[in-house]
């Protein structure tokens, strides 16, 4: 068995190395701080989301906050038209005064080129805890806007409360991260947005907070984003999620877990996201309790899956990326990106073949800076840490 594992691992390395055909000029990692607590537009910045448009523009979304997870929060955006080497000044996509506009989760409809941005809204005076316990003035609501000019301007956000939220749900969050468009023939071009929510538990064993539990679901569109509907709920004890499409068309949801086992959880759908299997623990994806990112590399040999998170059983440090060449049956080749405090992340495959990672990091705590880094995939098989302890 050990010999077989070594052969498999060597094969993965060989495939990854063979896929790295980017020019010499792009071999050196690019590191840019897109937002920092030293910036003046908001008190702090969190919740990264990174998307590549059909025009090869990079869109980096974040929350601009005046406080913590509730209160006055705006959706912010910065654009790059040169593969992340430079970034335009921030755009405020949504500012509703003292209220909370959060959880950016974009997706591109490749058939029309339209960029959809999912977000969530609540009264700034309502805390997350009050919303979960249904003691708030209002509930948390999913919203949607779109851009037809490569992210430069955005439509007025519209509420999806009547079609995309169960009345029992209190808290609601889109992503955080990105959505996907399906490629398999049976559901080709379907748009899928990963989401999560709180709900009233039927059994005490499901509870995470009082009489309420955490679950995940997706929003689906088969008409290019004109209408959206909910999938069934994935539960118990999971929330913040990202979804990937496996080679056979199966969807895999990778979720934050509250099962107390210091690892992620996964669920599978064989009908394009309509229904889902019960959560399964993924002990090889170590994590305390945090958000994570996962994507497929489409333009590299073997089309591996990548997974990024703070890979420690306690706390939020050691942002790392792992690879899978067997459709998430196993993960190998963990590459340490940054050893210091780090938390939420968003992965992307860049047009020039580089890997892009947009993540929260700092020297003393994970939420000091929002850092973008791009690097040659060959870095994933090199020893050492990609970034030094001293961030820009």
- Give residue 26's pLDDT: 53
Residue pair 51/106 in contact (Cβ under 8 Å)? The answer is yes
Q: Can you name the CATH fold of 30-381?
A: Neuraminidase (2.120.10)
CA 274 centroid distance within chain: 20
- Give residue 2's pLDDT: 44
Neighbours of 298 (CB within 10 A): 8
- Give residue 11's pLDDT: 45
- Residues belonging to the chain: 392
- Give residue 333's pLDDT: 84
Could you report how far apart the first and last alpha carbons of the chain are, in Å? 44
Q: What does the block give as tokens for 94?
A: 């949504």
pTM of the predicted model, to two decimals? 0.93
Helix (H, G, I), strand (E, B) or coil at 25: helix
Contacts of residue 94, defined as CB under 8 A and 6 or more positions apart, other chains included, come to 74, 75, 101, 119, 143, 145, 154, 157
String of DSSP letters for 126-162: S-HHHHHTT-SSS--EEEEEEESSTTSS-PPPEE-HH
Q: What does the block give as tokens for 73?
A: 């929060």
Cβ burial 361-389 (10 Å sphere, 16+ → b, else e)? bbeeebbbbbbbbbbbbbbbbeeeebbee
- Give residue 14's pLDDT: 45
HEC secondary structure over 344-390: EEEEEECCCCCEEEEEEECCCCCCCEEEEEEECHHHHHCCCCCCCCC
Residues facing 375 on adjacent strands: 355
Q: What does the block give as tokens for 101?
A: 């506009």
Q: What is the pLDDT along the chain (392 residues), one digit of tens a residue?
A: 444 444 344 444 444 444 444 334 457 899 999 999 999 999 999 999 999 999 999 999 999 999 999 999 999 999 999 999 999 999 999 999 999 999 999 999 999 999 999 999 999 999 999 999 999 999 999 999 999 999 999 999 999 999 999 999 999 999 999 999 999 999 999 999 999 999 999 899 999 999 999 999 999 999 999 999 999 999 999 999 999 999 999 999 999 999 999 999 999 999 999 999 999 999 999 999 999 999 999 988 789 999 999 999 999 999 999 999 999 999 988 999 999 999 999 999 999 999 999 999 999 999 999 999 999 999 999 999 999 888 99
């Amino acid at each position: 068995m050990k010999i077989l594992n070594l052969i498999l691992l060597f094969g993965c390395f060989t495939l990854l190395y063979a896929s790295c055909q980017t020019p010499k000029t792009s071999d050196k990692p690019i590191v840019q701080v897109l937002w920092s607590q030293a910036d003046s537009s908001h008190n702090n910045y969190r919740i990264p989301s990174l998307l590549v448009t059909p025009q090869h523009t990079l869109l980096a979304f974040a929350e601009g906050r005046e406080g913590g997870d509730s209160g006055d929060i705006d959706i912010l955006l910065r654009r790059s038209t040169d593969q992340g080497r430079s970034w335009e000044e921030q755009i405020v996509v949504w500012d509703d005064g003292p209220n909370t506009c959060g959880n950016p989760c974009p997706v591109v409809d490749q058939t029309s080129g339209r960029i959809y941005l999912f977000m969530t809204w609540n009264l700034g005076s309502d805390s997350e805890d009050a919303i979960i316990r249904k003691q708030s003035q209002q509930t948390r609501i999913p919203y949607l806007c779109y851009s037809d000019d490569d992210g430069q301007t955005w439509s007025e956000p519209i509420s999806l409360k009547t079609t995309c939220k169960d009345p029992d749900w209190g808290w609601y969050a889109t992503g955080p991260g990105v959505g996907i468009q399906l490629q398999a023939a049976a559901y080709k071009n379907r748009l899928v947005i990963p989401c999560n929510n709180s709900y009233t538990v039927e059994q005490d064993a499901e509870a995470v907070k009082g009489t309420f539990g955490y679950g995940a679901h997706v929003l689906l569109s088969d008409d290019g984003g004109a209408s959206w509907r909910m999938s069934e709920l994935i539960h118990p004890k999971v929330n913040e999620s990202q979804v990937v499409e496996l080679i056979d068309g199966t969807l895999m949801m990778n979720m934050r877990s509250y099962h107390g086992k210091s690892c992620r959880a996964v669920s599978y759908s064989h009908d394009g996201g309509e229904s889902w299997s019960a959560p399964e623990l993924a002990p090889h994806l170590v994590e305390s309790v945090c958000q994570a990112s996962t994507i497929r590399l489409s333009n590299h040999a073997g089309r591996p899956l990548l997974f990024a998170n703070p890979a420690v059983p306690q706390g939020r440090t050691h942002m790392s990326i792992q690879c899978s060449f067997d459709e998430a049956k196993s993960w190998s080749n963990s590459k340490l990106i940054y050893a210091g405090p780090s938390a939420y992340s968003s992965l992307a495959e860049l047009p020039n073949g580089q890997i892009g990672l947009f993540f929260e990091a700092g020297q003393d705590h994970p939420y000091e800076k929002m850092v973008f880094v791009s690097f040659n995939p060959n870095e994933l098989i090199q020893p050492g840490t990609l970034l030094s302890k001293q961030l820009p």
